[in-house]
Amino acid sequence: MEKSSSLSENINAFFAEIGELTYFAGRYFREAVSPPFEFREFLRQCYYMGNKSLLLVGVTGFILGLVFTLQTRPTLLEFGAVAWMPSMISISIVREIGPVMIALICAGRIGSGIGAELGSMRVTEQIDAMEVSGTNPFKFLVVTRIMATTLMLPILVILGDFIALFGSALIENIKGEVSFLLYFNEVFEALEFSDFFPATIKTFFFGFAIGLVGCFKGYNSKKGTAGVGKASNSAVVFTSMLLFIIDFIAVFVTDIFY
Amino acid sequence: MSLIFFIEKMDAQQNSSTNKKGNPVIEIKNLYKSFGELKVLNGFNLQLFEGENLVLMGKSGSGKSVMIKCLIGLIEPDSGSIEILGKDISKLNQKEMDELKAEIGFLFQGSALYDSMTVRENLEFPMRRHQNKIDIKNADALVMEALESVGLAKAIDLMPEELSGGMQRRIALARALILKPKIIFYDEPTTGLDPITAKEIILLMENIQEKYKTSSLIITHDVDCARVVSNRMILLLNGVDYVEGTFEELQASKDPKVQAFFK
């Protein structure tokens, strides 16, 4: 009896949170289109999220390309299909692995950062101080961050994809004596608009989800330092789950149109 | 700011007349606020007069913070009216409310400095929001003036994390002053500070009132602070009952509920 009541409470809490998140997203769209616009803060956030994530995305992408190629090579060799390596790797990375892996990395770095930052601003009354000084904190803190993640994530993914392909090309160059020029010729021959376009579109949604959930958790965090930790942690967990749901929908929709 | 100077100021304050009342800058009438079943404010009334330092004391949960948050629009009251500088805040639109906020400074209990900004940026932040009131071209001079008034001009390019608790409180006070407000709200200005730093903050509050002729509403548990800065005091007993008078009058009260604050 107790277990079922606890389960129903959890389900209620989950749907209540989904409702609050939807309301929060609605407020974002309302505030995003009404002046004044906080361009300065938006640019600062773009710099912070983009520039400061470059190294992490670069290293992750490079290792992803290396490992993926190293793991795949023996199997392709066995079937005498190693010539397919550039096309196989590029399609896998550009369509699926690159966007999802880099979005997950960014959910950990950017999403948790936003959750912790806004949570600690809430706890230390900085958000109240902003409101008192005649600033709309939602517009200044939330709108700018969601816009920045939505814009920066596709750029980071494109960059990460390229670095992953470079890592793959490096392995092929060392192990298979394939030149970089030949490798990238094969890559660009294999890739089509239908591989690149839907994958890039979905990264805008990934970026939006990372910003939205991070801001939602941080902005609404409860008082106390434990609330900040919880906001940061649940931002990552919730965003990761949401990324896979968005990815599933994106693949499903792409499958219908392409 | 020696202790002797502090005591002299204290005596001067005690001897000053407390009956000089100008025009009310804040008028709260029949303010009600409940959270579910819990009635926090139940018909609360308050007047703050021009140039006056009004201290509001009360035990935790008596509704002080809720009242002050209602005043600056962070919490919407259930009913009642709040007039600030002659304007009923419930009838103001967002733009008008933002303009009114330029006339109000707020010192938060934990200072609430923006920790991603330097001291200079913290002070410039309210100015950028109210460029119709302040000429942003004079930002540097105004920042320096505010910092000098709290004795921390050298901290201008430091980050909040590099400052001690007392310094943060003083910078927060400078930020509250930057727009030259007519009213300042102090939320527990001396809480969490050592006695010496607390006395420095109390003196600063006194100096600011003299220099800028502000009206101040001060929420505090600190009896020393109340003794020095108050022209008038309100003891909030439970959001419903409250008593009002000068520090001396309340201290002399025979009511055990009032006496409990001074023991």
* Model ipTM value: 0.82
Query: For residues B82 and B91, what is the distance between their CA atoms, to the nearest angstrom?
Result: 10
Mapped onto helix, strand or coil, the DSSP state of residue B140 is: helix
Q: Is B109 on the interface with A (CB under 8 A)?
A: yes
pLDDT in tens, B43-52: 888 899 998 8
| Residues of chain B contacting A131 with CB distance shorter than 8 Å | 72-74
What is the average per-residue pLDDT within A44-62?
A: 92
> Per-residue pLDDT averaged across A112-138, rounded?
90
How far does the CA of residue B87 sit from the closest CA of chain A (Å)?
16
Q: What percent of chain B has pLDDT over 70?
A: 90
Rounded to 5 degrees, φ, ψ at B242 are -150, 155
Q: Residue B45 has what pLDDT?
A: 86
Residue B26 is predicted with a pLDDT of 93
**Nearest chain A CA: its distance from B111 CA (Å):** 8
In angstroms, rounded to a whole number, what is the distance separating the alpha carbons of residues A125 and A25? 23
User: Which is higher by pLDDT, B6 or B169?
Assistant: B169
What are the tens digits of pLDDT across the range B7-36?
444 444 444 434 456 788 999 999 898 988
Q: What's the confidence (pLDDT) of residue B204?
A: 87
The CA–CA distances, whole Å, from A258 to A192, A195, A239, A245, A251 equal 11, 9, 27, 20, 10
Residues of A in contact with B130 (CB under 8 A): 134
pLDDT in tens, A188-215: 988 888 888 989 999 999 999 999 999 9
Chain A residues with CB under 8 Å of B73 CB are 131
pLDDT at B44: 85
Count Cβ–Cβ pairs < 8 Å, chain A vs chain B.
Answer: 46
Q: Which two tokens stand for residue A110?
A: 């950017």
**Is the separation of the CB atoms in B149 and B210 below 8 Å?**
no
What's residue A133's pLDDT?
86
Q: What is the pTM of this model?
A: 0.84
Q: Per-residue confidence at B239, pLDDT binned at 50, 70, 90?
A: low
For residue A117, which residues of chain B lie inside 8 Å, CB to CB? 116
In B, residues 202-241, which contact A (CB 8 Å cutoff)? none
On the question of pLDDT at A229 being above 70, the answer is: yes
* Arithmetic mean of pLDDT, B110-124: 92
Q: How far is B90 from chain A (nearest CA, A)?
A: 16
pLDDT at B83: 93
- C-alpha span between A169 and A180 (Å, rounded): 6
Which pLDDT belongs to residue B59? 79
Local structure of B159: helix, strand or coil: coil
pLDDT tens, position by position, B142-194: 899 889 888 888 999 999 999 998 899 999 999 998 888 999 999 988 888 88
Residue A33 has pLDDT above 60, yes or no: yes
Give the distance from residue A128's alpha carbon to the nearest chain B alpha carbon, in angstroms.
Answer: 7
pLDDT for the residue numbered B11: 45
